[in-house]
């Protein structure tokens, strides 16, 4: 069977479901972002794509700081709620019963219930069309003690969500380990 052309599509898998936070007019707000990823190694940076008119975008521009929080599968209701609603109309922190705390940066609100929290300082904002690509330097990383094994982050305890648009718009868990990285490929090397 062959290939079908679909025109230009934002079609990659998997995508994360991240809760991006900012203080807007001094109050913490969070939105869901599936369009984001690590942007640099040294120094550590992350990029997130956010529509210009979004309420969180306003807060990021106000403070030039933001947070990235990785929700677990147990938080799927709250995560989806943050995607369904706007902070301009509802208090998401209250509705989701998020315990908000702050770290090094004054205006990067972090969610206690999320296993991983990154505090970020804006280094670039690229206007790409419908969205801004916001690049932030990761200033600090917080991880829930309960998600560590032998002092290291454990993905089986973090239990992150992935977001998929096809066939339906849905959140999925991670599945089984397929192979060790930097290892299984050696079988081809040996050929």
Q: Choose which of 20, 22, 108, 158 interacts with a copy of itself (CB under 8 A).
A: 158
Q: CA distances (Å), 134 to each of 16, 21, 32, in order?
A: 16, 13, 14
Q: In the complex, what is the shortest distance from the CB of residue 91 to a copy of itself, in angstroms, rounded to a whole number?
A: 12
Stretch (H or E) spanning 187:
helix 186-189
Span near a copy of itself by CB under 8 A; candidates 21-29, 54-62, 140-148: 140-148
Residues 6+ apart with CB under 8 A from 16: 33, 34, 36, 37, 70, 160, 161, 162, 163
The Cα 82–Cα 21 span in angstroms is: 10
Phi, psi (degrees; rounded to nearest 5) at 144: -70, 130
27 near a copy of itself, rule: CB under 8 A = no
Stretch that binds a copy of itself, among 19-27, 58-66, 122-130 (CB under 8 A): 122-130
> Least distance in Å: CB of 181 to a copy of itself?
4
CB of 111 to a copy of itself, least distance (A): 11
Q: Please say which residue, 26 or 145, places its beta carbon nearer to a copy of itself.
A: 145
Q: Is residue 163 a contact point for a copy of itself (CB under 8 A)? A: yes
Question: Per CB under 8 A, does 137 bind a copy of itself?
Answer: yes
First vs last C-alpha separation in the chain: 28
Closest approach of Cβ 67 to a copy of itself, in Å?
A: 12
Could you say whether residue 176 binds a copy of itself (CB under 8 A)? yes
- Residues in 30-89 that interact with a copy of itself by CB under 8 A: 34-47, 49, 51, 68, 70, 73, 76-85
Tell the smallest beta-carbon distance from residue 169 to a copy of itself (Å).
Answer: 4
HSE-CB for 172 with a 13 A CA cutoff: 13
Q: Is 91 helix (H, G, I), strand (E, B) or coil?
A: coil
Tokens 């230009």 sit on residue: 8
Which residue number, 26 or 158, has a Cβ lying nearer to a copy of itself? 158
């Amino acid at each position: 069977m062959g290939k079908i052309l679909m025109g230009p599509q934002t079609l990659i898998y998997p995508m994360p479901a991240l809760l991006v936070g900012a203080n807007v007019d001094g109050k913490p707000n969070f939105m869901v972002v599936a369009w984001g990823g690590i942007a640099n190694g040294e120094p550590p940076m992350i990029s997130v794509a956010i529509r210009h008119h979004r309420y969180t975008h306003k807060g990021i521009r106000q403070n030039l700081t933001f947070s990235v929080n990785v929700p677990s599968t147990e938080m799927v209701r709250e995560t989806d709620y943050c995607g369904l609603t706007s902070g301009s109309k509802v208090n998401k922190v209250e509705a989701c019963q998020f315990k908000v705390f702050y770290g090094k940066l004054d205006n990067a609100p972090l969610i206690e219930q999320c296993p991983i929290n990154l505090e970020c300082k804006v280094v670039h904002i690229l206007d790409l069309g419908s969205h801004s690509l916001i690049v932030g330097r990761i200033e600090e990383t917080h991880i829930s003690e309960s998600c560590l094994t032998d002092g290291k982050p454990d993905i089986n305890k973090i239990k992150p969500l992935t977001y998929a648009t096809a066939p339906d718009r849905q959140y999925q868990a991670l599945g089984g380990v397929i192979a060790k990285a930097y290892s299984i490929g050696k079988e081809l090397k040996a050929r």
